[in-house]
Amino acid sequence: MCRVIAIANQKGGVGKTTTCVNLGIGLARAGKRVLLIEADAQGSMAVSLGIREPDSLNMTIVNIMEKIINDEEIKPGEGIIHHAEGIDFIPANIELAGLETSLVNVMSREMVLRLFISGVKADYDYILIDCMPSLGMITINALVAADSVLIPVEAAYLPVKGLQQLIKTIGRVHRKLNRELSIMGILLTKVDRRTNFAKDISEQIREVYGNQIHIFQNCIPLSVKAAETTAEGKSIYLHAPKGIVAEGYHCLTEEVLSDEK
């Protein structure tokens, strides 16, 4: 059975793309068949996987979703790029922002991405969706297509403050559009282990949400190495394999895999 995980938070800069790429490659290193789908017009995931100019791409998730909307045939493997570290991915670019606007007039507009994913699920063990930092129609599409949501949250005051709105949106999608949707867990990112402030925020999240939502045991530490991977076009496992961030994502991967059992 393929598991579809949306990685979402309406706050930017919390490590969604870094988490999507490194969790995906971590799962591939564990022998899983993995597809990453970029649902963010910024194209950060494409850049993180070595595509220098996402806006010049001829085929992205935009073209695939347009084909679904227009009832056009999608050939097997169309739009899917294979990465050297063992994953497949579908990039996005700035055109996705335009598609979000035009989706308003589309019949069953929340279901477009789900229809595509249902056609490729048989080829993968995991499909990870990197969501844009908003709660617009593209993110709703990702939540409707997903089985669960992984929420990266930076260990800082403002990102934590906005968490309640995301949880409410996930609840609405669950009730009205996707009864299978659940929250996989909250992942603390950019945790500065040297400060009491980060510890206080972490404890606050566990206290407020720990009874109703799973909090991943392992957090992702703050490190310049994680930011450098975007420029390198490769995962943390190749860029800094012995560092604390690689260890953090390895532990996250193990935790996600243990949830299979």
Distance CA 127, CA 70 (A): 24
Once rounded to an integer, what is the mean pLDDT over residues 232-260?
A: 90
CA–CA separation, 61 and 159 (whole Å): 28
Per-residue pLDDT, 197: 74
At 13 the pLDDT is 82
Q: What is the pLDDT of residue 240?
A: 87
Domain of 95: which CATH number? 3.40.50.300
CB neighbourhood size of 59 (10 A): 13
Q: How far apart are CA 252 and CA 255, in angstroms?
A: 5
pTM of the prediction?
Answer: 0.94
Task: Give the pLDDT confidence of 213-231 residue by residue, as tens digits.
Answer: 999 988 898 887 777 777 7
pLDDT category, 158, cuts 50, 70, 90?
A: low
**Whether pLDDT at 145 is above 60:** yes
Joined tokens for residue 15: 């490590």
Longest dimension (CA), the chain: 55
Pairing relationship of beta strands 148-154 and 182-189 according to DSSP bridges = parallel
The whole domain housing 67 covers 3-258
pLDDT reading at 135 higher than 90: no
Name 57's Cβ contacts closer than 8 Å, sequence gap at least 6.
Answer: 46, 51, 91, 93
Q: Count how many domains the chain has.
A: 1
Mean pLDDT over the full length of the chain: 91
| pLDDT at residue 229 in the model | 76
pLDDT at 46 over 60: yes
Task: Give percent above pLDDT 90 in the chain.
Answer: 67
pLDDT at 184: 96
What pLDDT does residue 159 have?
56
